[in-house]
Amino acid sequence: MEYQLTADVSPAADAPELDPLQRHGVAALLDEQLDLLAGIEGPEGVEVEPLDHRVAVHPSGAVITWLLDAPALAFAEEAARHVLTELLAQTELLSTWSVGRCEVIATDDDLAAALNDAVEDPEDDEAELTEEEIAALRDELRSSADALRAFGLDVFGHRPDDPDSPVSEEAARLVAGALVQGMEILTDELFADVQELEDAESSASEVEALSVLNQLPQRYAEHYGALFAKQFLVVTAILGYRLSQPEWTPPLCTAEALALHVLKTEASVQLDLAGLLDELPLKEIFAAFDERVFADLDHERLYDLEGEEGGEDEIDLLGTPGLDFDEWFLPRGADVLHPYLAIEHYPE
């Protein structure tokens, strides 16, 4: 059974509030230590498997959201508290910290999708976070925004010289931070998709447990094998690098445009987790983003097609460069994107 658990960890009561640099360091340290955990021994030697985690640091401590596989709720809570207490004690820079609340807030399907690749129904309050947790998540989004250097906040529709700008600076920063955090999640999920497809020795059309490839046009799912997933991972890595550089050019190939399309969905998940979907004018923000960041929106036509490959709507794509499946990785305005993208081998 899968459980989503939330744990509060904090420094000594008399410790000063963490400044932005310290919060960044604590987040990185906790994330690194949690990544090293391959398994947890719970009460009576029961194995508890950590599946995924997120760390949000605020001025007075940190909130860890953890997805665990355990035989029972009590095992998940007790094992998590025990291992977090030991982790803090053995980490020199966090040795004075302690574990506060440590409890399961959702089970099985309640929030597993939200931790991976789906936006939860806003009416579902089983996974409602506390005000402190939401504030921590929003603070992480704001601090992450600085890593998005490819373009300014105006790309999101913010007009700094217009007091009546429909998109505030705060809203634009939150969305920018969500894109940065979404890229981290997207990369992790692609590694998992590659492993799933390699283990199955099949294509996405026959594998259900995929997080990213199932967000691509599904009429081509039978072509999404392990090699394709690796190539899409390379394209996503290139995209992540380009988003962190001080200049921007539109997507260099159709696959990169699709990666950016999926990234917007991942960013929406981060905004939803922080309770921001109803507070931000996302329709206007992403409309402005699309207009400024993409050269065109031809890639969206791949989602609109109906029917089988080879039909009339497929023929209609032949005159649009880059939309044929065999051309997704061909560069636009560049000689070579990466040697690995030149490999041509997909499941028949």
Class in CATH terms, 2-120: alpha beta
Query: Can you name the residues that pair with 7 across neighbouring β-strands?
Result: 64, 102
Say what the pLDDT of residue 69 is.
82
Say what the pLDDT of residue 124 is.
43
Exposure of 20 in the CB half-sphere (CA atoms within 13 A) = 8
Say what the pLDDT of residue 161 is.
87
Nearest to 171 by CA among 132, 141, 147: 141
Say what the pLDDT of residue 39 is.
67
- Residues 105, 195: Cα–Cα separation, whole Å: 29
Domain boundaries, the chain: 2-120, 143-342
Q: In Å, what is the CA distance from 93 to each residue of 76, 88, 97, 312? A: 26, 8, 9, 63
Q: How many residues does the chain have?
A: 348
- Residues 220, 227: Cα–Cα separation, whole Å: 14
- Residues 79, 228: Cα–Cα separation, whole Å: 38
Residuewise pLDDT in 10s, the chain (348 residues): 777 778 889 998 888 888 878 888 898 899 888 888 866 765 556 677 888 888 888 888 888 888 888 777 777 788 888 889 999 999 988 999 999 888 876 554 444 444 444 444 444 444 467 788 888 889 999 999 999 999 999 999 999 888 888 999 999 999 999 999 999 989 988 998 999 999 989 999 998 888 899 999 988 999 999 999 999 999 999 999 999 999 999 999 999 999 999 999 999 989 988 889 889 999 999 999 999 999 999 998 888 764 445 554 554 555 677 788 888 998 876 566 788 888 775 444
Say what the pLDDT of residue 328 is.
93
Contact criterion met (CB below 8 Å) for 40 and 50: yes
Say what the pLDDT of residue 123 is.
43
Say what the pLDDT of residue 181 is.
92
Burial of 319 (0-12, 13-18, 19+ CB in 10 A): exposed
Q: Which helix (H) or strand (E) holds 105?
A: strand 98-107
- Residues 160, 320: Cα–Cα separation, whole Å: 37
